[in-house]
Amino acid sequence: MIKEYLDIGQIVGTHGVRGEMRVNPRCDSPEFIKQFKTLYFDKKGEKPVKVVASRVHGNLALVKLEGVDTVEKATALRNKILYMKRSDAKIPEGSYFIAELIDCKVIDADDESICYGTLSDVSETGANDVWHIKSDEGKEYLLPAIPPVVIDVNVETGIIKIRPLKGIFDDED
């Protein structure tokens, strides 16, 4: 489902004494965070904050926000989640965010009357993502998110069409 505001990272600590903060990205990379001029302290976009500067530091982003100019002010924001506005993100056409996949219905690409369940989580394994599909009965199935399996993803309609590998949805008796 398309979401207007998505979490982009969590403030995990400070860096230096002038209010710079270490942000653990909840996106592809800390580099992605650098494109934003405004972030938000809430998922409704009601608490915007201007990004004064941002840069990559290892696997973290170092972010300086307007009004946060001391280590004490930065420390007070530790563990806060920062959100981005989806329309501010520069992403390739047809791309989507993991948060938008959650709660999408997963159906069979060849027989749309077959619904396998709802996408409940995504594990990033390195080689390929693994999607967690929860059936209506509450059983969880693990599905490799690879091109031969994932046929179509439409986050606007909330429908994912798949051709599952043999045995994935076979229940053991």
User: Tell me, what's the pLDDT at 173?
Assistant: 46
User: Tell me, what's the pLDDT at 172?
Assistant: 54
Same domain membership, residue 79 and residue 136: no
We report the CATH number of the domain holding residue 108 as 2.30.30.240
Same domain membership, residue 151 and residue 114: yes
We report the CATH number of the domain holding residue 47 as 2.40.30.60
Domain that holds residue 22: 5-86
Q: Which of 64, 86, 108 is the last residue of a domain?
A: 86
Output b/e per residue, 53-77; b: 16+ Cβ within 10 A.
ebeeeeebbbbbbeebeebeebeeb
Same domain membership, residue 103 and residue 80: no
DSSP code, position 92: -
Q: Which of 54, 86, 118 is the last residue of a domain?
A: 86
Same domain membership, residue 102 and residue 140: yes
DSSP 125-159: -SSSEEEEEE-TTS-EEEEE--TTTEEEEETTTTE
Which ranges of the chain have pLDDT less than 50?
A: 173
> How many folded domains does the chain comprise?
2
User: Tell me, what's the pLDDT at 98?
Assistant: 84
Q: What's the pTM?
A: 0.74
